[in-house]
Amino acid sequence: MAEGKLLVGVDIGASSIKVVQIKESRRALSIIRHAHVELPRDTIIDGHVMNPSVVTEALQEVFARAKITQKEVAIGVYGQSVIVRKIAMPLMTKEELQESIGWEAEQHIPFDIKQMTFDYEVLNRFPEEQRMDVLLVAAKRDEVNDVATVVRDAKLKPLVVDINAFAMQNCLEKALNGLPKDRTVAIVDVGAANTTINVLSRGTSAFTREIQTAGASITEEVRKQCNLGWEQAEAYKCGSQGGLVPQDVNAAIDLACGHLAGEIHRSLDFYLATSGEADITRIYLCGGGASLAPLSRAIEEKARRPVEIFDPVSAFAIDKRVDEAALRARGPQVAVALGLALRRVKEVRT
């Protein structure tokens, strides 16, 4: 396969698998294939694959639905076993860094280093101050292997394993035609089980955090408070039940959105307090939770910053082979898959 060829983006989320294939031409980037397949609840918990055969079958189904024949894919990992740290180090050469990064990683990773796979990248060099910032990324090797195994079992080739937080960033960067160089913004993906935050300062990732409260926690709170079944609570939340939503359900949704917004706000405040960096001027919201209007309102209220629903699809041309209405309806939900689909074979992240 040609080096530099785009990979199929495969986002294995807690509630569904999204796949996207992009084609690059001289004039535009086009989405040429897309499909979405729901997963039964509890198939994936905090990034762990609990039921591998279900995921493998769903992968085969989603590729068949999308009519994708390319086997080379990029996948994302996320959850509590993924560690991202920006570390300050003395200025050194590439070779010196390669030699000392293992020791350095041991100091910053709160797990046994032997169980981790890690990668790093120099973010900034400050020669006058004889220091540099290095981004260290680590994930539990077993968990990466588990996800890669289900993907291989579906007869796919996972050539790139990325971190969801970076895939979102990659997608935002493409959609905005470059990240803002003079401002700090945050991108927040509210999925079913996980909320991923990535603060982008002067064009690079300055802070990431995963919160285990997201769309499913909102449904759960509605279910409990209003004494409903899960499906009913989910349908009310997504506005898919038809007819009026009872007042107590709306109140429960608002309350649950307030809790999640509070957690997001605390994470952003923690970043500002510990980094001493400039203010966060905008929050881009994506993931399925971005479609929940009371949630974006609640984040805006709690964080007192403008929230913009990030719909990356509008930045791409859409090929006629794609069910455009279905794709557009899911716009913010495909941010991670699109970010992964922009990855290339043997790409070196700069």
Q: Which residues bind ligand ATP (CB under 6 A)?
A: 13-16, 191-194, 214-216, 219, 234, 237-238, 287-289, 291-292, 333
304: left (phi over 0), alpha (psi -120 to 50) or beta: left
Q: Copy the structure tokens of residue 263.
A: 């957690």
Q: Which is nearer to ligand ATP, 136 or 263 (CB)?
A: 263
- Phi and psi at residue 202, in whole multiples of 5°? 45, 45
222/342 with CB nearer ligand ATP: 222
Q: How far apart are CA 190 and CA 99, in angstroms?
A: 38
Q: Regarding beta strands 317-318 and 195-201, do their DSSP bridges make them parallel or antiparallel, or are they unpaired? A: unpaired
Closest approach, Cβ 60 to ligand ATP, in A, equals 18
What's the CA angle centered on 240, arms 285 and 227, to 5 degrees? 95
Nearer to ligand ATP, 7 or 257 (CB): 257
- The DSSP output letter for 291 is G
Binding piece for Mg ion, criterion CB under 5 A, among 11-19, 29-37, 54-62, 135-143: 11-19
**Cα–Cα distance measured from residue 140 to residue 81, given in angstroms and rounded to the nearest whole number:** 6
Q: Rounded to whole angstroms, how far apart are CA atoms 158 and 200?
A: 27
- CA atoms of 173 and 21, how far apart (whole Å): 18
Within 10 angstroms of residue 122's Cβ, the number of other Cβ atoms is: 15
Positive or negative torsion for Cα 281, 171, 33, 31: positive
- Measured in degrees and rounded to the nearest 5, phi and psi for residue 112 equal -65, 120
Decide which of ligand ATP, Mg ion, none touches 79; Cβ closer than 5 to 8 Å per partner kind: none
Choose between 201 and 219: whose C-beta lies nearer to ligand ATP: 219
Please list the residues that pair with 124 across neighbouring strands: 133
Which of the listed partners (Mg ion, ligand ATP, none) does 34 bind, with a CB threshold of 5 to 8 Å by partner kind? none
Closer to ligand ATP by Cβ: residue 288 or 339: 288
Out of 79, 191, 312, 339, the residue judged to bind Mg ion by CB under 5 A: 191
Q: How far is the CB of 33 from ligand ATP (least distance, A)?
A: 18
Least separation in angstroms between residue 216's CB and Mg ion is 11
Which entry of Mg ion, ligand ATP, none binds 43, CB below 5 to 8 A by partner kind? Answer: none
Minimum CB separation from Mg ion for residue 347, in Å?
22
Name the minimum Å distance from CB 281 to ligand ATP.
Answer: 24
* Rounded least distance, CB 231 to ligand ATP, Å: 11
Could you give the count of Cα atoms lying within 13 Å of 14 in the half-sphere of its Cβ?
A: 25
Residues in contact with Mg ion, counted by CB under 5 A, come to a total of 2
Nearer Cβ to Mg ion (12/132): 12
Candidates 13, 79, 215, 339; binder of Mg ion (CB under 5 A) is 13
- If the CB atoms of residues 192 and 303 are measured against ligand ATP, the closer one turns out to be 192
Query: Does 76 participate in binding Mg ion (rule CB under 5 A)?
Result: no
Identity of the amino acid at 338: L
As separate numbers, helices (DSSP H) first and strands (DSSP E) second, the chain gives: 10, 16
Contact residues toward Mg ion (CB under 5 A) are: 13, 191
